[in-house]
Amino acid sequence: MPPQRAQESPFLRLPAEIRLQIYGLLLLPQRAKDLLPSLGIEHSSTKDYFDYETKQDCSANVSHPTLMIRTLDPDHYTQRYSPDKPAPIRSRYSVRCDRFRSACKSTTYLCLNASSRLQSSVAIMRSNKQIHFECADLLYSSSTFDFDTHVEAIVPFFSDLTPFARSSIRGVRVVKRALAYDKEFDRCEWSTALRYLTSPSTGLALRKLELGIVAGRPGDNGWDGVPTYSADYFRDCTIDGEEGMEWIRHLLQFKGLQELVVKAVVEHCPPATNSSAMAKYVRFSASVEEGFKEFLSSRLLDGGVAE
């Protein structure tokens, strides 16, 4: 809408607080169940990585929703965007997609729990620049963007946003498969994503980081008696020189965080007696919500709080 026409718009002559209320009704969930993933869309999400959080219960926070961004399964991508159909507006990228993660296919990302109401309502953001600014500030600053282990979607997703929308985002969630499960391609995808999130040139101003770390526990009592790493251990060790811990260096580049959530995403693993590498992984896993969390909080938080 041209500037002169925008000034003549009855809607834009409404008080700003009323416009924001209208945007909120259009763009934000009104009920907790509005944040539940669509089963059809969830099945279209790539299975290359196991999803550690595809479900949200009916106690989800509607005042600060979590939007789950996932990589679209490449086979669904080719069905949805075959050569005789229009190309997607979203950026394409390649993912490793066979059993041994040796073959790559082109795909894109999608939001698992974007309700049909939200998908149709975001069209209002294309009305004009003023409405886009007002809507983007509300939608993106109110939401946490959850990528789980689908960190390969981070750069395409944020790059597709306008600079203003990107600067409005305050919170992200990622999950790291660490140590025993860390492969060369995981390291590459992680470093690329974290460099983007922490680079001043991207225009992001994150205030909240939710970090899930896959933690191995050999049975329900597998951490009993396991000596944990203290925060001082992580402060004193040379992270770049510790095999399997190089990824932590990228985390330490975050600046200005006000809130940090560190959670151990627990799954079964072999006994610590299997090998020295597994013993180290079990010990690190038992330390995630204690010494490691304390260490990260001391390095990343700018006067905020850790959970």
The phi, psi pair for 240, rounded to 5°, reads -65, -25
Buried (b) or exposed (e) across 234-264, using 16+ Cβ within 10 A? beeeeeeeeebbebbebbeebeebebbbbbb
d(CA 69, CA 59): 20
* Contact of 80 with 107, CB cutoff 8 Å: no
Res 127: pLDDT:
87
Predicted model pTM: 0.88
Residue type, 97: C
Res 275: pLDDT:
86
CB atoms within 10 A of CB 191: 15
- Residue 225: which region, alpha, beta or left (left: phi > 0; alpha: psi -120 to 50)? left
Instruction: Give pLDDT < 70 ranges for the chain.
Output: 1-7, 47-60, 99-101, 179-185, 238-243, 303-307
d(CA 97, CA 73): 8
Res 302: pLDDT:
75
Query: What are 30-78's pLDDT values in tens digits?
Result: 888 878 888 778 888 876 555 666 555 555 677 788 999 999 988 888 8
The full set of domain ranges for the chain reads 1-52+63-142, 170-307
Query: What are 143-181's pLDDT values in tens digits?
Result: 999 999 999 999 999 999 999 999 999 999 999 987 655
Res 212: pLDDT:
95
* Contact of 216 with 286, CB cutoff 8 Å: no
Res 42: pLDDT:
80
Beta bridge partners of 111: 69
* Contact of 171 with 67, CB cutoff 8 Å: no
